[in-house]
Amino acid sequence: MIEAFRKIWHFAGDETKHVNQSVVVEFLNALLQMFRVAAIYFVVLALTDGTQSSKPAWLALGCELTAIFGGAVTASISKMLQTHAGYFMAAERRISIADRLKSVPMGFFNENSLGQLSGICTTVVGSIEGMVPMVLVNILGGLITTTVFTVLLLIFDWRIGLIALAGILLYLWVVSAMEQKSAAIADNTQRSQTALIAAVLETVQGMSVIKSFNLTGKGDQKLQDALEYNRRSNLEVEQVLTPYTALQEAILQIAGVGMMLAAILLWINGTMTIANALMTLVMSFLVFNQIKAFGMGVSMLRLTAAAIDRTVETEQMPRMDENGKAIQPKTHEIVFDHVNFSYGQKPILHNITMALPDKTTTAVIGPSGSGKTTFCNLIARFWDTDSGSIRIGGYSVKDYTLESLMNQISVVFQNVYLFADTIENNIKFGSPDATHEQVVAAAKAACCDEFIQTLPEGYNTMIGEGGASLSGGEKQRISIARAMLKNAPIVILDEATANVDPENEERLQKAIEALTRDKTIIMIAHRLKTVRHADQILVIDHGRIVQQGKHAQLISQPGIYADFVGGKKQSTSWKL
């Protein structure tokens, strides 16, 4: 249990001060509860000694009001401190995970389940946010109040106090045994929860495929297995902990009955006054109430510790070296120097050595899977090379901070992702300080202003996650407008016109030419009109540059490029 508390305090980070303050306030709350006991005692004394004065009644009322209002204030303050700690430690952890993801190699996302990561950021961290205040209230409040009550009983009558203490110690022994049992199953419960979220997320994202193959009810076996795993893990928790819970309740009941019997026997023997005997009967109901809260808190403590462990696992995500500096290069020549790269054990690029001069356009072509996209992604440092180096403006990409490197580069992906936000915010995603007029200008240049104006709220229209409410061509044009607005000196175009309709292709091509003027351009393209005017053309095959030069040079050489051009010319001559 101590180790679990250490995890909470370590996880709390800057919120540790609020947790510590809540402990102090909980102690004050426990002391104030003693005023309620004093109020009852004054009444019992008055009833048993025949006092006719109103003084005991006023004393009891004063003590009760102090307990009520003082307890309400301290309980409220303590709850707010603990809730503040739970919320902000969860928020800070989510922000920390998001910051770390910015420097995680893109290969991590190919090899690990995004659903698992989503589950940690949502459900697991959310459970920490909710459980930490409850654990602190129940464990700290219950333990402090029970301790104060027990000390009071020992002072009141050591014999009754020993019976209560024995019951509490036996209860704590069972709690300790239960905590050890729950330790073995808590981690499995958290894993089943994240596995369930991953399966649900995958099913929802792949619903179009499931429906198109008529697999509804059949193709969701992974989801069914995840549901069953979650059901078994939660049922296991109940089956393991229920006997311990029943034993805890029995111990407290027996201890309470023991206090009652002892009080009656001591009164019969004349060693205890009637007032003290009656007070003992009352205390037998009060002393164990808070220890029950302590037991509930301990059962949640292990789940909280397991959730923290699952969250801390994200700190093991691989991280690219970020000991860079904020560099603003004078030129933007890109140089590959003996670059090798592989995805795990699969080699992709082999000994790439070449230069992309400043303010020139380089077209990259090659068969599917040849390494074109990887070649471009290494420039943006989405991955790190296995060996060799890539330099921009004379500096290795590893010398840049992530922010200063990405300030030099705009990327237009073939598969566009838009966020669940307004059209305007998606366009100025890379330029958050841009004005509305600048957004509109970029949209017009990217040939998307016209269709935006037809939307219900124009630029303020909310689009679905991933841009689900827009066509492929519309998403592509918005991503180009985003790159135009960023106006970075290096532009990477990964089939930027692949999803653009023929009516807008020529206009968009002119817009791209305007965007790329006086910039260093790398474009992956399969369209002849895009490739032929490039300053240089790279032909990549099986991770190697097999041809390099201008259109006029390469067209006269036998090889992939000549075959590419010949095939394109033949396809454009087809008629229906």
- CB-based burial, 90-125: b 16+ in 10 Å, e otherwise: beebbeebeeeeeebbebeeeeebebbbbbbbebbb
Distance CA 276, CA 225 (A): 61
* CA-wise closest residue to 3 among 298, 305, 303, 300: 305
Tell me, what amino acid is at 213? F
- Say which residues have a Cβ less than 8 Å from residue 559's Cβ, sequence separation at least 6: 539, 546, 547
Q: How is 271-328 classified by DSSP, letter by letter?
A: SS-HHHHHHHHHHHHHTTHHHHHHHHHHHHHHHHHHHHHHHHGGGGS-------B---
> In the structure encoding, which two tokens stand for residue 178, read together?
């239960």
Tell me the residue type at 179: E
Task: Give how far Cα 129 sits from Cα of 5, 95, 125, 195, 311, Å.
Answer: 15, 14, 6, 20, 12
Give the full edge-to-edge strand order of the sheet including 409-412: 409-412, 490-494, 520-524, 361-365, 536-541, 544-549
pLDDT of res. 573: 39
Confidence at residue 391, expressed as pLDDT on a 0 to 100 scale:
93
d(CA 477, CA 508): 8
Specify the pLDDT at position 131: 75
pLDDT in tens, the chain (576 residues): 667 667 777 777 778 888 788 878 878 887 888 888 888 888 888 888 766 778 888 888 898 899 899 989 988 888 888 888 888 888 888 888 888 777 777 666 655 556 667 777 777 777 777 777 777 767 776 777 777 778 878 887 888 889 888 988 898 888 878 777 776 676 677 677 777 777 777 777 666 666 655 555 555 677 778 888 888 887 877 777 788 888 888 998 899 899 899 989 999 998 888 888 888 888 887 778 777 777 777 767 767 777 777 787 777 777 776 677 888 888 899 999 999 998 878 889 999 999 999 988 899 988 888 888 889 889 988 888 889 999 999 999 888 888 888 888 888 877 777 888 888 998 888 788 889 999 998 888 888 888 888 888 888 988 876 666 777 778 888 888 888 888 889 988 887 666 566 666 666 676 677 667 788 989 887 666 677 788 899 999 989 999 898 888 888 888 888 887 776 544 443 333
Residues with Cβ within 8 Å of residue 481, at least 6 apart in sequence: 427, 439, 442, 443, 445, 446, 448
Specify the DSSP element, H or E, that contains 343: strand 334-343
In the chain, the domains with their CATH numbers are 2-316 (1.20.1560.10), 323-408+526-576 (3.40.50.300)
Q: Give every CB contact of residue 540 below 8 A, 6+ residues apart in sequence.
A: 364, 365, 366, 370, 371, 372, 375, 546
Geometric angle at alpha carbon 324, from 318 and 329, rounded to 5°? 130
